[in-house]
Structure 1
């Protein structure tokens, strides 16, 4: 299926996502709060199908949006996406409020994916790309035996399938953990799969 893909956020995670998405056949737009001019060097260095765009253009044109913004910005982003219903949102966020001192936002016991899905109720949220360190995401291990795993979870099976297809196009190997309740906590900070790079061996 043909998509236009948008990346919201140009920090370390957004840049890592852009590096791999730009190598696919999908048109890819990247946006941030500072505007397209601030992304000129990034787009030039990555190349491929990546283009800088303003926020409004990215939201209007993208069928699939990768969310790579700080946790504290999610509520505002949810408000900005009102009226653009039904998009697939790939939630690559973690609930980190502060690194020093280290502090996590309280999600009332819910997996972060479920929490984010509640904010974006008119969209189709899939949790993915949040378990790898930014440096690993940008440059995963090169191995002839297989590809780096991206674990995903979510309550919309069709949306997960479409995100899995995009993940494969990025040369990763998607593994579906099930619903947010079934697999979400495994992905979250402190979960069994957080910060671990797994390789799925080719058979």
Structure 2
């Protein structure tokens, strides 16, 4: 069975873990405060989940979900994630993260920064423009009329394909934006952000997004 390493056990990380174990994935989840602080969550998740350090989660996972505040992206372990797909859920909240001039100017993207930090990994954007609680509630079977869609982006086709597969299992259609350099289109303060939309609506919202806000 596939194991997902989750680095970050906040709202998004815990919801991805809940849906993943429901679907039959094994989950190794971590945070910055230590595995012992995740005992309650792991007890809720059941036998398919265990708590670990970020390095252990990175090493154990067949692929990883990184869902930490942007200001901490340089703390993500590099070597254990080499060669693996890494799904990045981040958005830039300057009020929380401090200012990143390259993001303010539109020269960089949040997922692009993570890709630079993880040069041997295959980073893909995912789960960043949906409210965390809706990850486990808004999914519907494939073919459902007006099925909600989520966006992804990656410089690696296999990474985008993995996110597309995971989205479908979670109950969502996918719109592939293209390379990470375009991933800003699904981020904060843009038309596609935390709006319930089907694939056609999402594609339209992504297309009309302004580069800087």
Normalising by the smaller structure, the TM-score range is: 0.7 to 0.9
- 2:139 and 2:172 in contact (8 A); partners too: no
- 2:88 and 2:125 in contact (8 A); partners too: yes
Q: Secondary structure at the match of 2:50?
A: strand
Counterparts of 1:42-191 in structure 2, within 5 Å, are 42-47=41-46, 49-77=48-76, 80-82=77-79, 84-98=81-95, 105-106=100-101, 107=103, 108-109=105-106, 110-140=108-138, 145=145, 147-181=147-181, 183-191=182-190
Choose 147-156 or 102-111, whichever is displaced more: 102-111
1:142-198 per-position Cα deviation (integer Å, ceiling 9, x unaligned): 7964543221011101111122112222222222121223x4121121222112122
- 1:149 and 1:198 in contact (8 A); partners too: yes
Structure 1 match to 2:23? 24
- 1:96 and 1:105 in contact (8 A); partners too: no
Higher share in helix: 2
Uncovered stretches (5+) of structure 2, i.e. residues with no partner: 201-213
Q: What is the Cα deviation at residue 58 of structure 1?
A: 1.3
Q: Secondary structure at the match of 1:151?
A: strand
- 2:86 and 2:124 in contact (8 A); partners too: yes
Higher share in strand: 1
Q: 1:83 to 1:169 in 2, by over 3 A?
A: closer
Q: What is the Cα deviation at residue 199 of structure 1?
A: 3.7
TM-score by length of 1: 0.83
Q: Distance in 2 between matches of 1:191 and 1:119?
A: 25
- 1:31 and 1:54 in contact (8 A); partners too: yes
Q: What is the Cα deviation at residue 200 of structure 1?
A: 5.1
Q: What is the Cα deviation at residue 104 of structure 1?
A: 5.6
Q: Distance in 2 between matches of 1:83 and 1:103?
A: 28
Q: What is the Cα deviation at residue 21 of structure 1?
A: 1.3
Q: Distance in 2 between matches of 1:158 and 1:164?
A: 10
TM-score by length of 2: 0.80
- 2:28 and 2:51 in contact (8 A); partners too: yes
Q: What is the Cα deviation at residue 136 of structure 1?
A: 2.7
Uncovered stretches (5+) of structure 1, i.e. residues with no partner: none
Q: Distance in 2 between matches of 1:45 and 1:179?
A: 37
